[in-house]
A and B are shown apart, each in its own frame.
Chain A
Amino acid sequence: MGSVQYHAPQSLEEAVPLLKEAQKTPSRILAGGTDLLIQMRAGVKTPDMLIDIKKIPEVTGIEIGPEEIRLGAATPSAVMDESVELHRQLPGVVEGMELIGSTQVQGRATPGGNLCNASPAGDGAPAMIAAGGQCVVFGSNGVRTIPVEEVCIAPGRTSLADDEFIQEFRFPTPKPGQADAYLRFIPRNEMDIAVVGVAANITVDASGTCTAAKVTLGAVGPTVVIADKVAELLVGTKLDDATLAKAGEMASGLGTPISDKRGTVEFRHRIAGVLTRRVIQIAATRAGERL
């Protein structure tokens, strides 16, 4: 690594002049550093300035309200995993983050960093998108809100400007009968990168009929694939075996996966179908328990 300036603003106001500077000086936001520090050491990223956002109160912590759930973008995944209430409300969002890396990595890795690293195989994004997540984006000129799916535009690239970072995520608090889940396939038991990851957010009524659904797939394309057609298929059904089989079949046809050492294109398509079927079932069971 070359020489770099390090700043850790204590408030959003203190961050403003640094973000203005970031329009002129190659800079990076530092959250948990579990992607960035490795990329800097490898010479892949060479910022002249680091803005560590972890000391800004608005950027960490979890608040669960009757209408809305707030998740600070720099909240470590271990903190998410320890929140009993977040597990109860958004188990799928927690699952996406708590299976990242090891205990040590989970002590640092954040949802904002996971999303902004923009890896096609990032585990955090699919469930955050399925849960209807919005990002509050703080910039040197003020704040704007965008859906989570608008952040990643290509592998390693986001739609954020040089003077912006994600301050927090906001999710609508799940209604009775609504729940989510995330499943991924990895060749090992722990510490590996997703071959495919699928999230589902399902709402059922008292008769067990699905009234709303969102299904998203990670690692089958450059960015997360939102499977609207699969969701349409589910709504109005009782999520019976035949429907789930059809949903799985449909999901195996989605995306443009690649072949690599973890799996071939054919394998990824096939696994996408299997995981879709299973994750819908898990989310639906949880949804039924929340009625």
Chain B
Amino acid sequence: MSKTHVTTTINGDAVEYLCEPDQSMLEVLRDNLELTGTKEGCATGDCGACSVSLDGRLVCSCLVLGVEAEGKQIETIEGIANGSELHPIQQKFLENAALQCGICTPGFIVATKALLAKNPDPTEEEARYFLAGNLCRCTGYDKIIRAVLDAAAEMRGAAS
């Protein structure tokens, strides 16, 4: 089977790649483009470790085909920090010790960014519902939710 040529934008950069038509976006990111920050936890849409933003919408990259990225804008965990300066969400995850093994963390951070873009002042319940598709086996979620609400407060402060 011949590979398909795809032209897309990842974290603001124009990117071209060849992929098999049945390769997932997650496989393309990790295996073809060496953007390994995006993790695979299940490959069935259940865990959210593979979360990316596709044309501004939060999706599981394991449930998107690489060929579907043609002409789209993708944002991954690699695009969150500003150079060596951590994004406030990343900073608050560190300060709150909101991770142990870290496999779920990129997905949580990408999803949190989507949450706060839509709702800068979420209640704890709203944050928990929005992030229900991100699973963590280590932390028990409390520290993650605290980091999310802290980041929201900090970002609101910076914006006003």
85-119 of chain B: CB within 8 A of chain A? 111, 114-115
Looking at chain A's contact residues, the main secondary structure is loop
Give per-residue flags for B122-145: 1 if the beta carbon is below 8 A from chain A beta carbons, else 0: 000000011111100000000000
Looking at chain B's contact residues, the main secondary structure is mixed
Q: How many residues of B contact A (CB 8 A)?
A: 33
A108 partner residues in chain B, CB cutoff 8 A: 59-60, 63-64
B111 partner residues in chain A, CB cutoff 8 A: 103-104
Of B31-39, B42-50, B75-83, B149-157, the segment with at least 4 beta carbons within 8 Å of chain A is: B42-50
A5 and B21 contacting across the interface, CB-CB below 8 Å:
yes
**Cα separation A190 to B62 with both chains bound (whole Å):** 20
Q: Does B54 contact A (CB under 8 A)?
A: yes
A52 partner residues in chain B, CB cutoff 8 A: 68
Known contacts A33-B64, A105-B63; is-contact A38 B45 (Cβ 8 Å): yes
A291 partner residues in chain B, CB cutoff 8 A: none
A101 partner residues in chain B, CB cutoff 8 A: 45, 133
B21 and A3 contacting across the interface, CB-CB below 8 Å:
yes
A3 and B45 contacting across the interface, CB-CB below 8 Å:
no
Residue of A nearest to B43 (CB): A41
Distance in Å: Cβ of B138 to nearest Cβ of chain A: 19
B21 partner residues in chain A, CB cutoff 8 A: 3-6, 50
**Cα separation A40 to B134 with both chains bound (whole Å):** 23
Q: What's the interface size class on A, roughly?
A: 20 to 34
B129 and A190 contacting across the interface, CB-CB below 8 Å:
yes
Distance in Å: Cβ of A192 to nearest Cβ of chain B: 10
Q: Does A189 contact B (CB under 8 A)?
A: yes
Q: Does A153 contact B (CB under 8 A)?
A: no
Q: Does A154 contact B (CB under 8 A)?
A: no
B22 and A103 contacting across the interface, CB-CB below 8 Å:
no
Distance in Å: Cβ of B109 to nearest Cβ of chain A: 14
**Cα separation A52 to B66 with both chains bound (whole Å):** 13
**Cα separation A5 to B67 with both chains bound (whole Å):** 11
B22 partner residues in chain A, CB cutoff 8 A: 1-4, 6, 40
Q: Does A37 contact B (CB under 8 A)?
A: yes
A54 partner residues in chain B, CB cutoff 8 A: 68
B63 and A34 contacting across the interface, CB-CB below 8 Å:
yes
B132 and A191 contacting across the interface, CB-CB below 8 Å:
yes
Residue of A nearest to B67 (CB): A6
Known contacts A4-B21, A6-B21, A38-B45; is-contact A190 B63 (Cβ 8 Å): no
Q: Does A107 contact B (CB under 8 A)?
A: yes
Distance in Å: Cβ of B79 to nearest Cβ of chain A: 17
Known contacts A50-B21, A102-B133, A191-B133; is-contact A33 B114 (Cβ 8 Å): no
A102 and B48 contacting across the interface, CB-CB below 8 Å:
yes
B20 partner residues in chain A, CB cutoff 8 A: 3
Distance in Å: Cβ of B52 to nearest Cβ of chain A: 9
A103 and B133 contacting across the interface, CB-CB below 8 Å:
yes
Of A38, A103, A190, A191, the contact of B58 (CB 8 Å cutoff):
A103
Of B1, B24, B133, the contact of A105 (CB 8 Å cutoff):
B133
Of A3, A6, A38, the contact of B44 (CB 8 Å cutoff):
A38
Give per-residue flags for A189-212: 1 if the beta carbon is below 8 A from chain B beta carbons, else 0: 111000000000000000000000
14-52 of chain A: CB within 8 A of chain B? 30, 32-34, 37-38, 40-41, 50, 52
A-B contact pairs, 26 of them (CB 8 A): A2-B22, A3-B20, A4-B1, A4-B21, A5-B21, A6-B22, A8-B68, A30-B65, A32-B63, A33-B65, A37-B24, A37-B63, A38-B44, A38-B63, A50-B65, A76-B57, A102-B45, A103-B132, A104-B48, A104-B59, A104-B60, A104-B111, A107-B54, A107-B57, A107-B58, A108-B64
Which chain A residues have a beta carbon within 8 Å of chain B's beta carbons? 1-6, 8, 30, 32-34, 37-38, 40-41, 50, 52, 54, 76, 78, 101-105, 107-108, 189-191
